[in-house]
Amino acid sequence: MPSSFASKIVAANTMLLVDGDLGTIDTFFTPDYLAHVTDLAERLLLARKAAS
């Protein structure tokens, strides 16, 4: 059974990267959280934006 922490990571990845729902960032991260976007994540977000 996945841990609560692992399920939160999966949910965040799905909502932010797969679904492109950037409005949910504050659901998963506090304002002082520093995230490093990888090349793949950046390409996924750009592709999602270009498709809309």
CA-based nearest residue to 21, from 39, 42, 37, 45: 45
Cβ-based neighbour number of residue 10 at 10 Å: 11
The fraction of the chain above a pLDDT of 90, given in percent, is 0
Please provide the distance, in angstroms rounded to a whole number, between the alpha carbons at the two ends of the chain: 36
The fraction of the chain above a pLDDT of 70, given in percent, is 92
pLDDT of residue 1: 47
Number of domains in the chain: 1
pLDDT tens-digit readout, 7-29 = 888 888 899 888 888 888 888 88
Query: Residue 2: pLDDT band by 50, 70, 90 thresholds?
Result: low
Structural domain span for residue 12: 4-51
Average pLDDT of the residues in 36-45: 75
Kindly state the tokens that stand for 29: 């991260």
Average pLDDT, the chain: 81
